Amino acid sequence: MTVNLEVTNLVKKFGKFEALKGINLELNAGEVLGYIGPNGAGKSTTIRSILGILKPTSGSIKVFGKDAFDNAAEIHKRISYIPGTVYLWPNLTGGETIDMLLALSNQKHTAKTDQLIQDFHLDITKKNRDYSKGNLQKVALVATFSTDADLYIFDEPTSGLDPLNEDIFQQKLLDLKHENKSILLSSHILSEVERAADRIAVINDGQIIQSGTLEELQNVASSEVEVSTKVVADKLATFAGVTNLAEIKANSYSFKIKIAALEPVMTYLTGLGIINLSIQRPSLDELFLKYYNVKEVK
């Protein structure tokens, strides 16, 4: 396994203000890491540190095994990055801009570039000053995806995209992943990283408050089960992890449970004979709110 990015105990202070309070992240080849947190959490500060734009106050950042700040120029040759807000030359057309961005990273306009322009349905003949926010974002996305790199960093890339283009964006991420690239994808909306991310790190107030696979994160909250059985299920309440149990009608029940605790309950219910069953996993946005409440709960 190739580790392309390793952030260890990263602390970043702006004057007295500690924006990052000891961040740890790891990203391997062929992996998408979702970096989730509300506005002001520290996502862009982390990314700008990884890019070597900001010097860490303490801790270390290794990109391709090398210190991110000391070797920024060399590392940049293998990184493709798109910032959250895109500012592009107002008088260039979209097409000229794409070629300019590619040239700036020593890249050429290839068949892949044309394919991306087509897939994102981008009219490249307009001037940047005439594009909508979403189209301007597509100009930058085409250049970012078209760039041949090993580490792709997207900082809130889909804020201006409509659902159709969001979908194309997600497909392009999966393509990169299958090409064994590393992708760091930041967002303040969980559903934006849910599809592509292998692992998710949740940042709040400069600290990673949770990280793991989607399944691991989902196990922090309970799923909602509704079940109808052939005979009365009077032992349901005795199982560990069953909460909010209610009998909807005769032999029909609803309850909450974490997926990890579900198996013995299912064995019991199967023994009784299941007539109907639905399991609603917790939505990520629900989890997100739960995480954000951590601070208030403490």
Residue 17 in tokens: 């203000």
Residue 253: phi and psi, rounded to 5, are -135, 155
Smallest distance from ligand ADP to CB 123, Å: 30
Binding-site member from 4, 5, 10, 37 for ligand ADP (CB under 6 A) = 37
> What character string, x for contact with ligand ADP (CB under 6 A) and - otherwise, covers 239-258?
--------------------
The option from Mg ion, ligand ADP, none interacting with 238 (CB < 5 to 8 A, set by class) reads none
> Within 10 Å of residue 291's Cβ, how many Cβ atoms?
21
Residue 210 half-sphere exposure toward CB, CA atoms < 13 A: 23
* Nearest residue to Mg ion, scored by beta-carbon proximity: 44
Residue (of 264, 273, 260) closest to 233 by Cα position: 273
- Residue 153's nearest CA partner among 21, 35, 41, 25 is 35
Residue type at position 84 = G
Can you tell me which residue has the tokens 């159709």? 164
| Span 18-77, contacts to Mg ion by CB under 5 A | 43-44
Question: Is residue 144 close enough to count as binding Mg ion by CB under 5 A?
Answer: no
The region of 42-50, 61-69, 143-151, 220-228 touching ligand ADP under the rule CB under 6 A is 42-50
Q: How near is the Cβ of 188 to ligand ADP at its closest, in Å?
A: 7
Nearer to ligand ADP, 44 or 165 (CB): 44
What is the three-class DSSP state of 12? strand
Q: How many CB atoms lie within 10 A of CB 7?
A: 24
Q: Check: CB of residue 4 under 8 Å from CB of residue 163.
A: no
From the list ligand ADP, Mg ion, none, pick the one residue 34 interacts with, judged by a Cβ distance below 5 to 8 Å according to partner type: none
Rounded to 10 deg, the angle between the 111-119 and 133-146 helix axes is: 150
Q: State yes or no: residue 19 binds ligand ADP (CB under 6 A).
A: yes
228 binds, among ligand ADP, Mg ion, none (CB under 5 to 8 A by kind): none
Q: Which is nearer to ligand ADP, 84 or 134 (CB)?
A: 84
45 lies in the binding site for ligand ADP (CB under 6 A): yes
Residue 85: CB minimum distance to ligand ADP, A: 11
Binding residues for ligand ADP, rule: CB under 6 A, are 14, 17, 19, 37, 39-45
